[in-house]
Amino acid sequence: MPPRVLLVDDERDFVDALAARLELRGMEVLVAYDGDQALVRLEEQDADVAVLDIQLPGRSGLELIAEVRAARPLTQVVMLTGRSSLSTAVDGMKRGALDYLVKPVDIEVLEAAIRAAAERRSSQTESRRMIEAGRLLMLGHLARGVAHEISNPVNNMVTAAEWMLDLLDELDPAACKDKDELASSAAVVRDNGMRCKDIVLRLLTFCGAGDPRARDVSLAALLGEILERRAERVRSLGVAVDLDLAPDLPPVHAAVAELDEALSALVDNALDAMDPAGGQACPAAEAAPKDLPKAETPPPSRKPRTRRLRITGRAGAGGLGLEVADTGRGMAPEVLPNIFTPFYSTKESGQGVGLGLAIAQRVIHSLGGEITATSAPGEGATFTVRLPV
């Protein structure tokens, strides 16, 4: 993935020319002409590397380093200045800068410094994801233990409530004027207990401790449950959902928990791609058009695309085909080959560990099927699952 670079310099002609040269070398470039504008750019979009001029109006580049690291902790900083000063370099390094270059800087030297900084950013991101994956594993063990501890008292509560309802059903209303109220309260206890049992079951499924036995699963029923569990998020995002499954769709012979996990990952991935607050799925899709001049005047606003999640299912001689398509950001060509790699993610640290699609692929392959994806920047993505029946 090409690095995204933020250039901060008050010499507009210099920074615009530098941005054009870096773009020709395959980089995505953001430009700011002072410290305040730089922080606004970082609030709007993350950057792998920030190249800061030391002499800036309002605040110096040295003062800006701390604010950049506070806004985007993983953004690497390279200092650029017209003055060669060892003390300035040392001060910048103490504040968190990775490198120090002196104007006029050779474009090859600057490119090498930016790519080295981007590599360091990538390494730090992967390290954080590995740490988060370890924490999730520990959380899974803890959740499994908690689920088992909760399961027994919840089962007792549901059994007791059903027993109370049986007794009340046999009771003469004349003998107890509050019979209806007691029955209503017992029903509330029973229904909420059943809800707790359902939550425990989902928790065990999340931890990989669900029922491993395979059985015939109706995709229509399973996808309906998956979408129902995400109904609130679908509404909040304003996503229109089209569930188009052929009425003669055959069942899939699989462990319910595993198939639920795989299809849930595909649905969640689609919703993430259409969530403006979600992780960066395709930097190229949100880049400024190349033919626009570098100016402070924003480009004309475009009519927002309708957010739509479309799930289609058809059966044929070769088996069952399922498509999950979204109208989200799409993926850049260099991202697409990596999406099923464990721990690979374009989201910021803390928003995902890159396991969802990897688990989906593992489950589909274990069923003797295949999963592929097609996408383009700004055009959404379509995941196609083929399963034997």
Q: Where are the domains of the chain?
A: 4-105, 129-206, 214-387
Pick the CATH number of 4-105 from 3.40.50.2300, 3.40.50.880, 3.20.20.70, 3.90.800.10: 3.40.50.2300
How confident is the prediction for the chain on average, in pLDDT?
79
Length in residues, the chain: 389
The token pair that represents 176 in the structure block: 């107890």
CATH superfamily of this structure's domain 214-387: Histidine kinase-like ATPase, C-terminal domain (3.30.565.10)
Please, which pLDDT band fits residue 325 given cuts at 50, 70 and 90? very high
The pLDDT of residue 197 is above 80: no
Q: Are 4-105 and 214-387 the same fold in CATH?
A: no
45 with 10: CB under 8 angstroms?
no
pTM higher than 0.85, yes or no? no
Residue 80's contacts (CB-CB under 8 Å, 6 or more residues apart) are 9, 51, 52, 53, 54, 61, 101, 102, 103, 105, 110
What are the residue ranges of helices labelled H in the chain? 12-24, 35-44, 61-71, 86-94, 107-170, 179-206, 219-229, 231-237, 256-273, 283-286, 356-366
- Each residue's pLDDT tens digit, 206-247: 555 555 677 888 999 999 999 999 998 999 999 999 999 998
Residue 115's contacts (CB-CB under 8 Å, 6 or more residues apart) are 3
- Each residue's pLDDT tens digit, 105-140: 888 898 898 998 888 888 877 777 676 666 666 666
- Each residue's pLDDT tens digit, 81-104: 766 566 776 777 777 788 778 778
User: What is the pLDDT at residue 226?
Assistant: 92
Which residue would you say has higher pLDDT here, 131 or 33? 33
